[in-house]
Amino acid sequence: MLSPDVARYLAIAGEFVRSRPAEHSVLLTVAEAIRAGGPATFGDVQPLFGWYVRDGGAVTAACVHTPPYPVALTAMPDPAAAALASTLAGTGRAVAAVGGPPGPAQAFAAAWQRQTGQPARVGRRERLYRLGELVPPAPAPAGQARVATGADIALLLAWLTAFRAEADPAGAPVHRAMVDERIGYGGLTVWETGDGPVSLAGRTRAVAGQARIGPVYTPPEHRGRGYGGAVTTAVSQQALAAGVAEVLLYTDLANPTSNALYQRLGYQPVTDRVQLRFGA
């Protein structure tokens, strides 16, 4: 079933999505952001939510799509992922990518190619980490963390756009509404020294006992000084202070520096997922 109504989605599929908060973090945090900020939070195209019920039983899989971001999948039978791709293709909905566990993502991509002729390629391979015991960097770099405000909007937009261009050049643009939504609950933090801000980290809203860290960005001229680890520690502490049971983050497996950094801070691997992009 598919619906643009986040309230209906949460009423029907919410229990299932909350049942595995780490693995379903993306679906949880996207739905919560839209519930709090409205359907335009991620852009101008209407979000779409889906859930899978077999033989009239309980919900056993779910998805969410906020164009131009990828369709985000939970684990599901390959035939269900293929059927979802066929249904979306039949509606004419533009789909730039799909992300999720490798099996369902590949089944979706194969069906999408059959329906549209658009081949898939690997956009990125990601690893989900969960915080164990937080280990702050020692010694800590100069400076301190500060929660970003509306006065930082120009800097935030510039840095988040730079992060997107570096981490996922084919990905979705940064929308002002997304930044405003995060500022609204204190979800963006900068590390600043006497020379001003030098690094940035975000965290999602807490939902179902989890919050996810990201993005983390340090401009090239400020790298190699420990600012990224310091600001990640700060937002991790903020998430813990909010009372969540699980603090999570995703890394790009092609970036060994970030994977090593987060493990030094106490993050432990949970599972991997893949993002497949469509078109040339």
Q: What is the CATH number of the domain that holds 233?
A: 3.40.630.30
Task: List the domain range (segments joined by +) for residue 12.
Answer: 2-118
Please check whether residue 275 is in contact with residue 99, taking contact to mean a CB–CB distance below 8 angstroms: yes
Residue 191 β-bridge partners = 145, 199
Parallel/antiparallel/unpaired status of strands 97-100 and 144-147? unpaired
47 and 179 inside one domain = no
Sheet holding 48-53, edge to edge: 2-3, 48-53, 59-65, 71-73, 97-100, 267-278, 120-131, 246-252, 210-217, 196-203, 188-193, 144-147
- How much is the average pLDDT of 66-95? 95
For 86, the token pair is 């066929």
Same domain (yes/no): 136, 220 = yes
| One domain for residues 47 and 88 | yes
HSE at residue 137, side-chain half, CA atoms within 13 A, is: 20
Query: Are 24 and 152 in a shared domain?
Result: no
Same domain, residue pair 55 and 163: no
Tokens of 118: 């658009």
Q: Within a domain: residue 81?
A: yes
Tokens read off for 215: 């993005």
- Domain membership flag for residue 228: yes
Whether 279 is covered by a domain: the verdict is no
The pLDDT of residue 172 is above 80:
no
The predicted-structure confidence for 20-58, as pLDDT tens digits, reads as follows 999 999 999 999 999 998 988 888 889 999 999 987 789
Is 123 inside a domain boundary? no
- Tell me the one-letter amino acid at 153: I
Residue 125 covered by a domain? no
3 state SS of 130 = strand
Same domain? 159 vs 250: yes
Give me the helices (H) in the chain, please.
6-18, 25-37, 78-91, 102-116, 153-167, 176-184, 227-241, 256-264
Asked if residue 140 and residue 255 are part of one domain, the reply reads yes
Is the pLDDT confidence value at 198 over 80?
A: yes
Give the residue-averaged pLDDT of 84-94: 95
Contact 52, 76 (CB under 8 A): yes
* pLDDT over 80 at 121, yes or no: yes
> Which residues are bridge partners to 257 per DSSP?
none
Tell me if 67 is assigned to some domain: yes
The confidence band for 169, taking pLDDT boundaries of 50, 70 and 90, is confident
Same domain, 141 and 91: no
Whether 147 and 110 map to the same domain: the answer is no
- C-alpha dihedral, 30 to 31 to 33 to 35, nearest 10°: 160
* Confidence tier at 280 by pLDDT (50, 70, 90): low
Residue 90 has a pLDDT of 94
Assigned domain for 89 exists: yes
Tell me: do 138 and 76 sit in the same domain. Answer: no
Looking at 91, 118, 145, which one is the last position of a domain?
118
Q: Which residue in 91, 168, 82 sits closest to 122, CA to CA?
A: 168
Look at the alpha carbons of 54, 59, 61, 66 in this order and tell me if their dihedral is positive or negative. positive
Q: Which of 118, 139, 156 is the last residue of a domain?
A: 118
Please check whether residues 23 and 49 belong to one and the same domain: yes
Q: How confident is the model at residue 76 (pLDDT cuts 50, 70, 90)?
A: very high
Does the residue 253 lie in any domain?
Answer: yes
Which amino acid, 87?
T
What average pLDDT does the chain have?
95
**pLDDT at position 44:** 82
Query: Is residue 14 left, alpha or beta, with left meaning phi > 0 and alpha meaning psi from -120 to 50?
Result: alpha
* Of 55-64, 114-123, 154-163, minimum mean pLDDT range: 55-64
More confident residue, 41 or 89: 89
> How distant, in Å, are the alpha carbons of 14, 149, 161, 182, 249 from that of 146?
33, 9, 20, 14, 20
Domain count, the chain: 2
Task: In whole angstroms, give the CA distance from residue 189 to residue 147.
Answer: 4
Domain end (from 72, 88, 118):
118
Backbone angles phi, psi at 51, to 5 degrees: -145, 155
Q: Are both 184 and 252 inside the same structural domain?
A: yes
Task: Grade residue 249 by pLDDT with cuts at 50, 70 and 90.
Answer: very high
Strand 71-73 relative to strand 97-100: parallel, antiparallel, unpaired?
parallel
